[in-house]
Amino acid sequence: MYRMITHKRRNIIKMVGFLTVMWILGGYILYPTLKTIGMSFTGKQGFTLLFYKQFFVIKGNVEALGNTLVLGFSTVIVCGIIGTALAFYVSYFNFPFKDFTYKLLLTPLMLPGIIIVIAFIQLYGESGMITKTIEILFGLDRVPYVFSGFWGIIFVHAYTQYVYFFMNVSVAIKHIDYSVIEAAKNLGASKLKIFTTIIIPFITPAIIASSIITFMTGIGSFTAPSLIGDHYKVLTTQILLAKANNYMEMAAVQVILLMIVSIVFLEVFRYYEKKTHFTSSVNGVGIKPIDIENKWLRTLFMMLSTILVLFIILPVLTILILSFVKSGTWMIEIYPKEFSLDNYMKIFVKSRAFAPFMSSINMSILASLLGAFVAVPCSYIIVKTKCKFKFIVEVLAMLPWTMPASAIAINMINAFNKPTIFSFKGILVGTYIILPLAYFVKILPLILRTTSISLYNLSDTYDEASKSLGASWMYTFRRITLPIIMPGIMAGILLGFIRCVGEYTTSVYLYNVWNKPISMAMVNALFEYEIGLAMAYGVLIILLTAIVSSVITRLVNIGRIQL
Amino acid sequence: MVKLVLRDISKKFEDTTAVDYVDFSIDEGSFFTFLGPSGCGKTTLLRMIAGFIKPDTGRILLRNKDITHIPSENREIGMVFQNYALFPHLNVYENIAYGLKIKRITKKEIGNKVEKYLNLVRLEGYENRKITELSGGEQQRVALARSLVVEPKVLLLDEPLSNLDAKLRDKMRIEIRDLQKELGITTIFVTHDQTEALTMSDKIAVFNKGKCIQIGTPREIYAAPTNTFVATFVGETNLFEAEIIDDEAKLNNGIMMDIKKSSTGSYLSIRPQDIKISKEFKNMRNTFKGKVEKIQFNGVVVEYIVDVVRTKFKVSALNNIYIDTEINVGDEVSILIHKNTINVLNNA
């Protein structure tokens, strides 16, 4: 009898937990998406296709759709070439400061897009320092290039997203078993043959996986198109335009088309990913990098590395230097002359300037914790149970991955500009919580991935061993499962934090007086010509992400997870 | 005294039958081994006893109590896993104390018990070691201590020696058996290694394709296999198809052999060491002329392959002072087989 009761109680706990998770997934991911879909089909007289027709009538929309696709593929191609080339460069050759270069090459991943765009404007923009320097050096009377429009966006994308290719291909090259290459040589294969029949197949899955991420980021990119896009229209900027004109039905149609593009190409890429995937047999010896004997070649490589390093740290350096520029002292000169700690003082002394900094930190913590709170049970259900609904849980939790940030923002607006049961009868738009909720939706797939990896790595026998020693399910979860996967959870939380702390896109749509984040403060400062202040905010975000990423690296080592 | 009863247990995974109506019982305090090749269902059966898998049919009775539907944590059945499953975030002491902490006994009592079992597995002073700092053998002992300290009614061992190197395996074999005898705990041991099974067990159940095909003491299993599978899986043997006519057997190549009276079956099994090889030829029953085709020397024994009218006989002789070193490949020899050593079997 006693056993029956405890068994029942255990089931009730599980049930309540499951329903809570489903409530959150349903309320903040599914419901808002459905709301947007519904809105796109609902006119004054009920169901209509009018807004879809309108989409194709209004000038610029079709162009934006085409541009979005072009931008997506161009991003993949450009980043693919740069990232893969760099991966081969670092994996195949030995050169001085190689480890340092490798780590440095990974940094753009940790920098929020908004900071990079702003730094690039300061460097390569019309009155940017590099642009002006070139003008003076060569005595030009016009700007030598135009850092805006399609090429400007591609330039930013190349800088921010080659890292995916670089990282994944480097790992794939590391996993090429050198004995396979030796076997091929032994069988008489030429260098070209080895490259096409061994190396290419080995790195293809990595290239496709990276293509997926860069394509999705490319078509969903908003920061670069909105700040330097100029006349180059893409869907994300059209969505903001529609929203600004309060034409929410059109915004809904645009969001849905963007999501369709995203899901269709995701599935296409995934099809090829599965087709090319294979697991190599044994962990053999990796490829040994070659020392370059030729003196001239070595110098060339050195120069190449130096240029690379400079190019990568230049934006960060720019932000750092400009953060010390005294406001109002740098208007007409090319280079700033007066420096002070004023900007930092302003942030830490003036509560109005400090608020965005704290607000971003608070909202990021909130979103990441909520993310972990939902991701842990979800990944447990997906990885460790045979629950009938696990398919639904997985689809819902991963759904935001196919949603560009603009789509998430529009969905949230459509869902919570009226009272709902999910908002406990309140209107969330215009309140503090709306932005952290959107952040949470945005980072859930990321956290879910890390917690799932930890759980995959967790052998079922720990669970069984605990049970055979008399521990209940709850006790086992608390004392065994949770502590072992804790590094993975923490890494997930911190990764989520990094993604939120400089977030720009959803912030543009959802921020208000209660929760103005640091990214908005930066952009506002920029428009008010307080460049130094904007940069000081940037430095603070970079510092924060740098500290957090070093903690993540440590946690990843402890938890032995591969991210 | 009967302790654990398995009654008509079966389990299917999709289309494959993992365990096929197994029905036997295990005596209190005995060391009982499930022996069979991989995929024979022995581990599935063990996991059903542990409560990790629910059987499709049948019941499991422990000391006359039906435990089939009791969750694993309430069964009081301990288990040592193939990979030990030591909790990596806890040290040696915490691992062993884990099961005791659930039982709500005083800290002092926990301390005493952990110490007692640490001594039993000869790991005194290892309390604060991390799991990663232990060798394979030490991890094995911690796993043993952890499952024994809660004093389970039955101890399950799932191929616990398979991750150890050969020398350590021999040592742990003896250690585990001694510990089991000292504590008198009913133990079920799963292995695919016949040597482990033969040296450690009170009784062995041989499994093939989900069925338990023979149960007996190690000697019974070895000396009197009841079918061809057991004869070939446990130890080496010469297996011949034969036609049985009263107390004689006719092999496919036509040679006739005397066998024990009233044997039935269609196969003969003769252990290589039961065949005597000699250069002399005496005209006796069950003596056959043949030619040495191959000689393999492996230290303790010398193995000969002898061709008798196109049928190959494997013969082995202890490599000692009495061995006939004059036998070489290509020599004419005679082999002698005592009829009592010939087992007549059915196919399995």
Digit-coded pLDDT (tens) for B46-57: 999 999 999 999
A548 with A341: CB under 8 angstroms? no
> Which tokens go with A122?
């300061």
DSSP state letter for A502? T
Q: Do A469 and B78 touch (CB under 8 A)?
A: yes
Digit-coded pLDDT (tens) for A369-383: 999 999 999 999 999
What is the number of other CB atoms lying within 10 angstroms of the CB of residue B173? 18
Q: What is the dihedral of CA A51, A56, A62, A68, to 10 degrees?
A: 30
Question: What value does the mean pLDDT take over residues A4-14?
Answer: 72
Angle between helices A482-501 and A351-384 (to 10 degrees): 140
Digit-coded pLDDT (tens) for A190-242: 888 888 888 888 899 899 999 999 999 999 999 999 999 989 999 999 999 99
- Amino acid (1-letter code) at residue B82: Q
Q: Do A468 and B78 touch (CB under 8 A)?
A: yes
Q: Which of A384, A469, A561 to mutate to test the interface with B (most CBs of B within 10 A)?
A: A469
pLDDT band at A2 (very low <50, low <70, confident <90, very high): very low
Q: Token pair 């989900």 is at which residue?
A: B210
> Helix/strand/coil (H, E, C) string of A325-366?
ECCCCCCCCCCCCCECCHHHHHHHHCHHHHHHHHHHHHHHHH
**Cα separation of A182 and A188, whole Å?**
10
| Chain A to chain B Cβ contacts (< 8 Å) | 69
- Residue B206 half-sphere exposure toward CB, CA atoms < 13 A: 25
Residue A471 contacts B where some CB pair is shorter than 8 Å: yes
Residue B146 contacts A where some CB pair is shorter than 8 Å: yes
Question: What value does the mean pLDDT take over residues B277-297?
Answer: 90
A538 with A522: CB under 8 angstroms? yes
pLDDT at B232: 92
Residues on chain B touching A472 (C-beta within 8 angstroms): 73
pLDDT at A257: 95
* CA nearest neighbour of A124 among A97, A164, A99, A155: A155
A545 with A501: CB under 8 angstroms? yes
Angle between helices B92-102 and B136-148 (to 10 degrees): 20
Q: Which of B49, B52, B110 to mutate to test the interface with A (most CBs of A within 10 A)?
A: B52
Neighbouring-strand partners of residue B61: B5, B66
B247 with B260: CB under 8 angstroms? yes
Which residues does A188 contact at the CB level (< 8 Å), separation at least 6? none
A7, A464, A471 ranked by CB distance to B102: nearest: A471
Which residues does B8 contact at the CB level (< 8 Å), separation at least 6? B21, B22, B23, B57, B58, B59
Comparison of pLDDT for A273 and A250, the residue scoring more: A250
Residue A466 contacts B where some CB pair is shorter than 8 Å: yes
pLDDT at A439: 98
Question: What value does the mean pLDDT take over residues A392-400?
Answer: 94
Query: In A432-502, which ranges are continuous DSSP H helix?
Result: 434-457, 460-468, 473-476, 482-501
Residue B153 contacts A where some CB pair is shorter than 8 Å: no
What is the number of other CB atoms lying within 10 angstroms of the CB of residue B14? 5
What is the number of other CB atoms lying within 10 angstroms of the CB of residue A242? 22
DSSP state letter for B202? S
Please give, rounded to a whole number of angstroms, the shortest distance from the CA of A267 to a CA of chain B: 30
pLDDT at A254: 96
Residue A351 contacts B where some CB pair is shorter than 8 Å: no
> Which tokens go with B147?
């499952």
Instruction: Give the helix/strand (H/E) hosting A93.
Output: strand A93-94
B86 with B140: CB under 8 angstroms? no
Residue B155 contacts A where some CB pair is shorter than 8 Å: no
CATH of domain B236-345: 2.40.50.100
Mean pLDDT, rounded, of chain B: 92
Question: What value does the mean pLDDT take over residues A102-114?
Answer: 87
* CA nearest neighbour of B1 among B64, B77, B68: B64
Q: Which of B76, B77, B81, B153 to mutate to test the interface with A (most CBs of A within 10 A)?
A: B81
pLDDT band at B96 (very low <50, low <70, confident <90, very high): very high
A465, A470, A484 ranked by CB distance to B103: nearest: A470
Residue A1 contacts B where some CB pair is shorter than 8 Å: no
B254 with B309: CB under 8 angstroms? yes
> Which tokens go with A130?
């590099």
Residue B88 contacts A where some CB pair is shorter than 8 Å: yes
DSSP state letter for A403? S
Query: In A93-128, which ranges are continuous DSSP H helix?
Result: 98-106, 113-124
A524 with A489: CB under 8 angstroms? no
pLDDT band at A171 (very low <50, low <70, confident <90, very high): confident
Please give, rounded to a whole number of angstroms, the shortest distance from the CA of A469 to a CA of chain B: 5
**Cα separation of A459 and A384, whole Å?**
10
Q: Token pair 């510990």 is at which residue?
A: B179
pLDDT band at A94 (very low <50, low <70, confident <90, very high): confident
Q: Do A469 and B103 touch (CB under 8 A)?
A: no
β-strands B57-62, B65-66: how paired? antiparallel
Instruction: Give the helix/strand (H/E) hosting A47.
Output: strand A46-47
SS3 assignment, position A243? helix
Residue A462 contacts B where some CB pair is shorter than 8 Å: yes
pLDDT band at A10 (very low <50, low <70, confident <90, very high): confident
Q: Which of A8, A11, A468, A558 to mutate to test the interface with B (most CBs of B within 10 A)?
A: A468
Please give, rounded to a whole number of angstroms, the shortest distance from the CA of B188 to a CA of chain A: 14
Residues on chain A touching B117 (C-beta within 8 angstroms): none
Domain A49-297 has CATH 1.10.3720.10: yes
Question: What value does the mean pLDDT take over residues A8-25?
Answer: 87
SS3 assignment, position A155? helix
Digit-coded pLDDT (tens) for B291-309: 999 999 988 899 999 999 9
Question: What value does the mean pLDDT take over residues A496-522?
Answer: 94
Q: Do A469 and B98 touch (CB under 8 A)?
A: yes
B268 with B257: CB under 8 angstroms? yes
> Which tokens go with A487?
């590094």
pLDDT at B99: 94
Question: What value does the mean pLDDT take over residues B124-130?
Answer: 93
Please give, rounded to a whole number of angstroms, the shortest distance from the CA of A484 to a CA of chain B: 6
* CA nearest neighbour of A474 among A39, A122, A6: A6
Question: What value does the mean pLDDT take over residues A92-118?
Answer: 86
Domain ranges in chain B are 2-229, 236-345
What is the number of other CB atoms lying within 10 angstroms of the CB of residue B22? 24
Domain ranges in chain A are 49-297
**Cα separation of B218 and B198, whole Å?**
5
> Helix/strand/coil (H, E, C) string of B290-309?
EEEEEEEECCCEEEEEEEEC
Digit-coded pLDDT (tens) for B229-260: 999 999 999 999 999 888 899 998 888 999 98
pLDDT at A6: 62
SS3 assignment, position A504? coil
A535 with A319: CB under 8 angstroms? yes
Residues on chain B touching A7 (C-beta within 8 angstroms): 71
- From residue A98, alpha-carbon distances to A107, A167, A255, A393 in Å are 15, 15, 43, 43
pLDDT at B91: 94
Q: Token pair 């459905």 is at which residue?
A: A34
**Cα separation of A157 and A78, whole Å?**
9
pLDDT band at A1 (very low <50, low <70, confident <90, very high): very low
Residue A470 contacts B where some CB pair is shorter than 8 Å: yes
**Cα separation of A509 and B110, whole Å?**
59
Q: Do A459 and B102 touch (CB under 8 A)?
A: no
> Which tokens go with B67?
């435990």
Lowest mean pLDDT among A337-351, B177-191, B199-213: A337-351
Q: Which of B14, B74, B103, B130 to mutate to test the interface with A (most CBs of A within 10 A)?
A: B74
Kindly identify which residue of chain B lies nearest to residue A485, measuring between CA atoms: B89
pLDDT at A284: 60
**Cα separation of B95 and B149, whole Å?**
11
B73, B82, B156 ranked by CB distance to A471: nearest: B73
Residue A139 contacts B where some CB pair is shorter than 8 Å: no
> Which tokens go with A473?
């399910």
Residues on chain B touching A459 (C-beta within 8 angstroms): 83, 85
Which stretches does DSSP call E strand in chain B? 2-13, 16-27, 31-35, 57-62, 65-66, 77-80, 154-158, 186-191, 203-208, 211-216, 238-245, 248-251, 256-258, 267-270, 275-278, 287-297, 301-308, 311-318, 332-337, 343-345
Residues on chain B touching A462 (C-beta within 8 angstroms): 85, 87
| Whether pLDDT at A435 is above 80 | yes
- From residue B264, alpha-carbon distances to B216, B223, B237, B253, B255 in Å are 20, 17, 19, 20, 18
Superfamily (CATH) of domain B2-229: P-loop containing nucleotide triphosphate hydrolases (3.40.50.300)
SS3 assignment, position A148? coil
| Whether pLDDT at A327 is above 80 | no
Mean pLDDT, rounded, of chain A: 89
pLDDT band at B1 (very low <50, low <70, confident <90, very high): low
Please give, rounded to a whole number of angstroms, the shortest distance from the CA of B289 to a CA of chain A: 50
Interface of A with B in 420-459 (CB under 8 A): 459
Please give, rounded to a whole number of angstroms, the shortest distance from the CA of A493 to a CA of chain B: 20
Residues on chain A touching B75 (C-beta within 8 angstroms): 468
The model's pTM is 0.85
Kindly identify which residue of chain A lies nearest to residue B82, measuring between CA atoms: A461
Query: In A221-247, which ranges are continuous DSSP H helix?
Result: 223-228, 235-244
Residues on chain B touching A485 (C-beta within 8 angstroms): none
Neighbouring-strand partners of residue B268: B240, B344
* CA nearest neighbour of A490 among A361, A371, A349, A396: A371
**Cα separation of A512 and A434, whole Å?**
9
**Cα separation of B98 and A469, whole Å?**
8
DSSP state letter for A12? H
pLDDT band at A287 (very low <50, low <70, confident <90, very high): confident
